Chain A
Amino acid sequence: MQTALSVLVDSMLITFVFALAALGLAIIFGLMGVINMGHGAMLTLGAYFTWFATTKGVPFVAAVLLAAAGVGLIGLLLEHFIIRHFYDRPFETLLLTWGFFLISTELIKIAFGTDLRTVTNPLPGAAHFGSFVLPAYQSVVALISLALIVGLGVMLYRTGLGIKIRALVQNAEVASLLGLNVARAYKLVFVAGSAAAGLAGALISPMLSVDPYIGNIFLVRSFFVVIVGGIGQVLGGTLVGSFLIGGSETFFALFSGQVVAQTIVFMLAILVLRFRPAGVLRAQ
């Protein structure tokens, strides 16, 4: 019983970490249709911002906020100078964002080398319930992840800005004919997605060693989360996709090695897409 509960809680914590990591992609790819291969690099940049700021004495919370703002600014520059010229050309945006990943990874290597860096866990404690352990920091990150997803859902479905964004996604030309500055709205969404990725990288950094490829761990998984959950289903799709990818990986890892568990999960994801190609939650 204790083990089952422990696995369930571990699965939930991993689910929320995956959801956090995938949120930026759910915005940029799920809402805007930009296949952002630079998502992993944005997570990595968020982690490096946090590592660098904390080594200079900046408190962890401020470092996380700086990381989100910094990656948001990088997203703004990327969108303004490159991506906005290619919104209706998905293959080109895929290549360009892949180029962004390569360039930013090499720049990180030049600036900081390839050594593993460590961000000190700001909440190292844990709550113990018999043999069952609830790590404090992972629990807080899970709550932040849930709050961000709920907040994004409220913004999208309960505010005027949300109506504008959903209208833009459905028919940009008509939105502009009604008076919406489409270029500005796309920019806002792209920056928000970039900042979310930076925030995720920052919050994940104390859980893993920071290296130039930390974001890659989550890149493929994030795509699976968004696609399996349902493209455009930012709220429920991200949570369901994260649970199916992250939570089930934790479950299968109980009975096999991590690599076998990942393989099973990706095979199951492919199977899900075979029968529900638009994702679990996407209306057919």
Chain B
Amino acid sequence: MMLLELKEIHAGYGPVPVLRGVSLQLGEGEILGVLGRNGMGKTTLIRCIAGTLPLTQGSIHFAGQEITRLAPHERAQLGLTTVVQGRGVFPRLSVWENLEMGRIAAGGGKRSRLDEVIGYFPRLGERLRQPAGTLSGGEQQMLAIGRALMTHPKLILLDEPSDGIMPILVHQIAEILLQINRREGVAIVIVEQNVPMVFALTDRCVILEKGRVVAEGTREQVSQSAVMREYLAI
């Protein structure tokens, strides 16, 4: 059974269509990379799956259930969590409070994964009392991913996680995401312009162009496609 299934989804902002019939499938524990230039609909795709932007057509199924009309918090309670572009940490909450918010937001009955999260990101363990707004960009990204992990997700949506982060940290974060995927079995959809990061993480990619999937396949297939060479200059 597929964990996530998008069927011909259309969405946009007011009269401006952005997604024009995107269909995707993702299995449990799988990592999918979504590549594309600015303005091609990558963030819109994430917002549609997360529930912050309604579809104008099409449907979304998650873990065997149709979620097209569910609110974002209802999707999160099913195990679909999102790390937004720019990290979205709560700047005046401490690192610990940010992580705790991940555990309690949906009700708080979940086991704390604080030790596991600190195991993946030891830097966070050294800064638990520090306001999240005072962390560096890379540390904030670690916090955002750690907080997502605290929600016990089945799927993490990552929107441009390399945005504004030092290259050495991008590599480190990619390695930790792979560890999380392998140890926890968490599926990941990663939307990125940073092609090396996506290729380091995933075997399967799609390329979005003007709101449509124009290339889909393995890392090798996608990297050799005409679209990839033309638009991403590889």
Contacts and interface: CB of A to CB of B under 8 A. Distances in A.
Interface string B103-128: 01111100000000000000000000
Interface stretch (A135-143, A178-186, A269-277): A178-186
Interface residues of A, number: 17
A160 B73 contact: no
A148 to B, nearest CB: 23
B66 to A, nearest CB: 19
A179 B76 contact: yes
A98 B104 CA distance: 36
Contacts of B88: 171, 173-174, 177
Contacts of B101: 163-164, 167, 175, 178
Contacts of B76: 176-179
B93 A180 contact: no
Given A163-B104, A164-B101, A174 B77 contact: no
Nearest to A161: B104
Contacts of B102: 178
Nearest to A232: B92
B100 interface: yes
Given A177-B50, A179-B76, A179-B77, A160 B104 contact: yes
B93 A175 contact: no
A201 to B, nearest CB: 31
Given A166-B92, A166-B93, A170-B93, A176 B104 contact: no
Contacts of B108: 160
A177 B147 contact: no
Contacts of A178: 73, 76, 81, 101-102, 105-106, 147-148, 151
Given A163-B104, A176-B76, 6 more contacts: A163-B101, A167-B101, A170-B90, A179-B77, A179-B106, A181-B73
Interface of B: 50, 52, 71-73, 76-77, 81-82, 84, 88, 90-93, 97-98, 100-102, 104-108, 147-148, 151
13 contacts: A160-B100, A163-B101, A167-B97, A167-B98, A170-B91, A174-B84, A177-B88, A178-B101, A178-B102, A178-B105, A178-B148, A179-B76, A179-B106
Interface of A: 160, 163-164, 166-167, 170-171, 173-182
